[in-house]
Amino acid sequence: MILIGELSLWVALLMATWGTTVGFAGGYYKRPELIASAERASYATFGFLLLAALGLWTALLHSDFSFRYVASYTSANLPSIYKVTAFWAGQSGSLLLWAFILSAYSAIAVWTNRTRNRELMPYVTATLSAITLFFVMTLCFGSNPYERLDWIPPDGSGLNPQLQNPGMAIHPPNLYLGYIGTAIPFAFAIAALVTRRLDAGWLAAVRRWTLISWFFNTTGIILGMWWAYVELGWGGYWAWDPVENASFLPWLVNTAFLHSIMVQEKRGMLRKWNVTLVVSAFLLSILGTFITRSGIISSVHSFAQSNVGYWFLGFLVLAIALTAYLVGTRLNDLEAKAELESLVSREASFLFNNLLLVGIAFAVLWGTLFPILSEAVTNNKITVGPPFFNKVNVPLGLALLALTGIGPLIAWRRASAENLKRQFTGPLLTGITAGAALFALGMRDFGALVAYTLCGFVSGTIIQEFWKGVGARRRMYGENAFMALVRLVARNRRRYGGYIVHVGIVILFAAFAGLAFKEEFDVTLKGGETYEAVDPYGNKWRFVSQGVSRYDELNRQTTAVLLDSYRNGKKVGVIKTEKRQYTDSRGVPTFQPATEVGIMEGIREDVYVVLAGVIGEDTAEMRITFNPLVWWVWYGGLIMAIGGLIVMWPQAERRRAQAGYSTVLQPAEQEA
């Protein structure tokens, strides 16, 4: 199987080359047999990359240390589940995962469009094959997971302890599914630009793929935040690390596109903008991969430096040049078919929502790359850390939150004063009441007060929308409230699924604002000693150390401290925090000691304990943190994902059409 996998990688290289060549040739010369061949090559590439992936998994599971990759990222005593996940722990394995997922996506896109979008498909197939070809070339010539060692070591180096976490089993594949999902809309955009078929057809094809990409990007980011929180031990879930930023950029641009596509569907506007967003999302995915793999910027997530960075830089430059040329030469075909009638309209609010999303993306990209620019200009190294990103992005994020509430309430085309009054009175009162209540309860942090007021306002808009919809159904059909709610969502999944995503956003913002009240304490305790602290809610906590214990586990030596925890005099549990020294099968240490955070989770706050060090036999140095509302980050993310699934669910288009939401372009535009 391993040999088959190794050979399959090279055959996939040939298949992708063939698919690229005959795809473009078939499209250009309009030769059906070439087009069909390119599509078959797409399926074949997927098949061979699947074999290549299975081969690597086999090598990992059999601990075949003759392969450099297996020896570098696993050891004989590594639990099997982490041997499986070691597939994406290193540079070449994760590149193979990229290529494999891309080929799977390509095969699905070709299959689902075998009777649709036939004018576009030759170029879609060829573009996807070209991207796959780039990744397979990088694998074969730049970073081959099947590279063999000159000698076979008795054991491998083991897997980085920070990657031995369930979050790392699912976070990277999710993120890759999101990143790579941007390639399909990109391919459709290239095909539409090449063929000049820039009507609504290509947009309909890419909308669902963008949603798929957005969904996986969202879940990938949230899972990554959870992993950082429980594994890295610094007490937070988002550090504005360059690689975190790189994953955030396509999400922002995809989110902007999912809003602006509605404006093009409804009003025929923002055509150039939409093409630019689709293309940018893919390019930012490649940029993110370049940042992770080039070593150009220091990051906790970086892979070991290698020459793969040059490959990505070259690909990025080529892709930017190609798309800039195509967009530049097709500007006339992208003219809007309608114009904005009023700045007080839903399309205008979506426009400003897009500006903010892209503005945040620019700010994040700018902050991420600024150290390079500054060093090049001033020869002075600087750090752009969380204080910068928070100061710049918090006001933009709050403005975006406000627009999340404003957008859905304003009418298309032109809102009347009566419409504004009717729609905004309730939500505004809700927001103001929430803010005033929190102020009366003693909250004085300005940023948090603004955030919670806006959360109240947006919640008010969402509740109002559901209330009106459910009420209408109850009047029309005599349904009970629950059935009316279920059918309301089921009959218009796109709209109400979107509102559920907004619910998730509100919860996330509320949880982020909770960080303003975080409390941290440095604690040094001997066995039997007590530390008392007051949390942000005014509860009195008492922590009693049970002392330091040391013991061996399967592939590690553990140093642990147990803390009996009391809230307002009542015992609420025991928190265990650990330091782990991982070893190989011979008991030789493999990595620096790793933190295992002790977390007592709660709806109101987490108690987060990190063992920072041990003095002598029985004295532990710890950091105890009260982290308010962190629990809501995970559930806000979950709700966003559920909302995304509802929006994506098949048949949504038909239902939407029945509900009168779906629109088609006029014949004049279709002919354009």
Partner 1 sequence: MSDNALITRRRFFAATAAGAGVLIAARLAHAQEGEGQQEPPNTGASNTVMESDKFKSVTLPPKGPAVMDQAKRDELEHHIHCQCGCNLDVYTCRTTDFSCQVSPAMHRDVMALVAGGYSAPEIIAAFKNVYGDRVLMAPPSSGFDLAAWITPFVALSAGIALVLVVLRRLRGPALAPAIAPVVADATPAEQARLDALVRNDDQ
Helix (H, G, I), strand (E, B) or coil at 43: helix
Report the distance separating Cα 237 and Cα 227, nearest Å: 8
Of 130-138, 215-223, 381-389, 566-574, which segment contacts partner 1 by CB under 8 A? 381-389
Please tell me whether residue 486 binds partner 1 under the rule CB under 8 A: no
In terms of Cα–Cα distance, which of 582, 579, 547, 637 is closest to 217?
637
CB of 380 to partner 1, least distance (A): 6
| Helical pair 493-514 and 631-648, crossing angle rounded to 10 deg | 170
CB 286 within 8 A of CB 186: no
Range 612-641, binding partner 1 (CB under 8 A)? 612-613, 621, 623
Partnered with residue 611 across adjacent β-strands are 622
Quick note: the x/- pattern for partner 1 over 159-178, rule CB under 8 A, is -x-x----------------
Among 6, 39, 199, 241, binds partner 1 (CB under 8 A): 241
- Is the CB of 385 or the CB of 528 nearer to partner 1? 385
Of 56-64, 379-387, 510-518, 582-590, which segment contacts partner 1 by CB under 8 A? 379-387
Range 208-237, binding partner 1 (CB under 8 A)? 232-235
Of 175-183, 214-222, 354-362, 529-537, which segment contacts partner 1 by CB under 8 A? 354-362
- Is the CB of 26 or the CB of 161 nearer to partner 1? 161
Range 558-597, binding partner 1 (CB under 8 A)? 579, 591-595
- Is the CB of 428 or the CB of 438 nearer to partner 1? 428
- Is the CB of 341 or the CB of 617 nearer to partner 1? 341
Please tell me whether residue 335 binds partner 1 under the rule CB under 8 A: no
Q: Which two tokens stand for residue 212?
A: 């798929």
CB of 412 to partner 1, least distance (A): 7
Backbone angles phi, psi at 575, to 5 degrees: -105, 130
Checking phi first, is residue 234 left (phi over 0); if not, alpha (psi -120 to 50) or beta? alpha
Helix (H, G, I), strand (E, B) or coil at 189: helix
- Is the CB of 145 or the CB of 469 nearer to partner 1? 469
Quick note: the x/- pattern for partner 1 over 641-660, rule CB under 8 A, is -------------x--xxxx
Element (H, E) at 366: helix 346-378
CB of 347 to partner 1, least distance (A): 10
- Is the CB of 131 or the CB of 409 nearer to partner 1? 409
CB 248 within 8 A of CB 301: no
Range 303-332, binding partner 1 (CB under 8 A)? 303-307, 309-310, 313, 317, 320
Number of amino acids touching partner 1 (CB under 8 A): 105
Among 1, 152, 429, 472, binds partner 1 (CB under 8 A): 472
Range 267-306, binding partner 1 (CB under 8 A)? 267-268, 294-296, 298-300, 302-306
* Residues in Cβ contact with 234 at an 8 Å cutoff, skipping those fewer than 6 apart: 228
Backbone angles phi, psi at 502, to 5 degrees: -65, -35
CB 200 within 8 A of CB 275: no
Task: Determine whether 395 is exposed, middle or buried from the number of CB atoms within 10 Å of its CB (0-12, 13-18, 19+).
Answer: exposed
- Is the CB of 49 or the CB of 297 nearer to partner 1? 297
The tokens 């549990």 sit on which residue? 573
Partnered with residue 626 across adjacent β-strands are 519, 607
Range 46-85, binding partner 1 (CB under 8 A)? none
Checking phi first, is residue 451 left (phi over 0); if not, alpha (psi -120 to 50) or beta? alpha
- Is the CB of 10 or the CB of 388 nearer to partner 1? 388
Quick note: the x/- pattern for partner 1 over 103-142, rule CB under 8 A, is ----------------------------------------
Task: Determine whether 150 is exposed, middle or buried from the number of CB atoms within 10 Å of its CB (0-12, 13-18, 19+).
Answer: exposed
- Is the CB of 57 or the CB of 303 nearer to partner 1? 303
Quick note: the x/- pattern for partner 1 over 448-467, rule CB under 8 A, is -----------------x--
CB of 135 to partner 1, least distance (A): 19
For 138-198, give the DSSP string.
IIIII--TTPBPSS--SS-----GGG-SHHHHHHHHHHHHHHHHTHHHHHHHHHHHHHT--
426-440 per-residue burial string, b: 16 or more CB within 10 A, e: under 16: bbbebbeebbeebee
Among 35, 41, 261, 356, binds partner 1 (CB under 8 A): 356
CB of 334 to partner 1, least distance (A): 14
Of 218-226, 425-433, 605-613, 636-644, which segment contacts partner 1 by CB under 8 A? 605-613
- Is the CB of 195 or the CB of 306 nearer to partner 1? 306
Among 79, 385, 528, 587, binds partner 1 (CB under 8 A): 385
Among 119, 166, 170, 412, binds partner 1 (CB under 8 A): 412
Report the distance separating Cα 644 and Cα 636, nearest Å: 12
Cα dihedral 647/650/655/656 (nearest 10)? 40
Among 189, 351, 485, 508, binds partner 1 (CB under 8 A): 351
Of 61-69, 121-129, 202-210, 490-498, which segment contacts partner 1 by CB under 8 A? 490-498
CB 331 within 8 A of CB 275: no
CB 2 within 8 A of CB 59: yes
- Is the CB of 67 or the CB of 123 nearer to partner 1? 67
In terms of Cα–Cα distance, which of 343, 458, 460 is closest to 402?
458
CB 601 within 8 A of CB 500: no
Give the ranges where 379-492 is alpha helix by DSSP (H): 386-406, 417-440, 446-477, 481-491
CB of 403 to partner 1, least distance (A): 13
Among 152, 331, 372, 615, binds partner 1 (CB under 8 A): 372
Backbone angles phi, psi at 664, to 5 degrees: -120, 155
CB 500 within 8 A of CB 639: yes
CB of 317 to partner 1, least distance (A): 6
